[in-house]
Structure 1
């Protein structure tokens, strides 16, 4: 992880933001909230993310214990991603952020089209 200074901090906000503090991580977690998905499915669900950034972000979430990466020894090889218990515990927090946006967003709130 890039921000090892924050990772080992005693401050819970620093530690939490080291895990969630990028543009894409909460969106990926939200996309996986109800299912297991392959790389291509996550890429399609998330939208305008590059494959390189998605790969890096998935690796970071796995290293932080938020995602489980499961490799299947098949031909062709198959890899699936799912949320761990730690990752599933973030769903209510992410949904609260969405609710906060619905309350304070100017204009008509819309639902996410991720999934």
Structure 2
């Protein structure tokens, strides 16, 4: 609306409907998943092992020893199968994140390791 002093803009705040709220939540979750997917780096197990050794001196035996320290038998077995049976390693997999914590690798370390692994 135009007034003598210029334009006047007015706003009205109205609550969103349950359907609109649900749609916004769906969009938010989809955006978060898309961001995680975009940030994920996948390398071969060979690349991962070489990067770990080249940059941190960590060998496959060190990783398996860390897996053996997992107290829960179910979690330990799943991590072992995941690690031994994987041809590709994803930077955000639960096993990688669990092992990183046990090996004192930070998020920055993982980013650097996976970036280097991609070059191998």
> Rg: which structure is higher?
2
Q: Which has the higher contact order (CA 8 A, sep 6+)?
A: 2
Q: TM-score, normalised by structure 2?
A: 0.28
The structure with the greater share of residues assigned to helix is 2
Q: TM-score, normalised by structure 1?
A: 0.29
